[in-house]
Structure formats: C-alpha cells, structure tokens
Structure 1
C-alpha cells in the first residue's frame, strides 16, 4: 500500500509514500515543478521521516 501524504490545492503536485517510510515520490502533472511546490513536497517527505538524500530526479514524457 501507499499513502497520499499531500496534494497541492490545484491537484498539480502530490506526495505519495510507503507506510514504512522507505519509498516516496513527488508526482507532478508537468515535467517542470515550480520551486515553491518542490520545497513544500520535500518538507512533507522530511516531516514524515523520509530520507531526502535518496531523492532522485526522474522525468517521464
């Protein structure tokens, strides 16, 4: 299972993670994510105990 940890008010960016804190994703509708939403998403992951040093950038068309 995965938890939806956060979604911005426009439903453009979401943070999803595993309950054990091992795997998390920042999902964005567009290939580029504005800095303010990226910062907010990272803060949500950090607050929930995810290791931010493991974040990798991946762009899918």
Structure 2
C-alpha cells in the first residue's frame, strides 16, 4: 500500500516541481525506497501533452 505522501510526491515529480534529490530526501520520512524508485521511473513533464495528440473533426 502506498504511503500517504506518495501521491503528492508523485504529482510534484510529474509536474517537475521537485528534483530527484528532493524525492530521495523523503525516504524514509514519508515514502519507502521502493516508492521512491517508482516515482523516479515515472516520466516527467509534457510527455503526455493532450494538445499534441491528433484530433478528429466531428
């Protein structure tokens, strides 16, 4: 089960608001090392930018 702060740190990482060092600093105070590794393996930024997806006219 994910710790209470996991979702917050994950979102901050995705939005590029915190560095890898900051994510690591939450171990073991707020997240486990396994959770940290999962967060750091998650892509950051606009990789899934919805506006860049092809659109279809209706």
Give the TM bin, normalised by the shorter chain. Answer: 0.3 to 0.5
Q: Which has the larger radius of gyration?
A: 2
> Which structure is higher in helix share?
2
What TM-score do you get using the length of structure 2 for normalisation?
Answer: 0.34
User: RCO higher in 1 or 2 (8 Å CA, sep ≥ 6)?
Assistant: 2
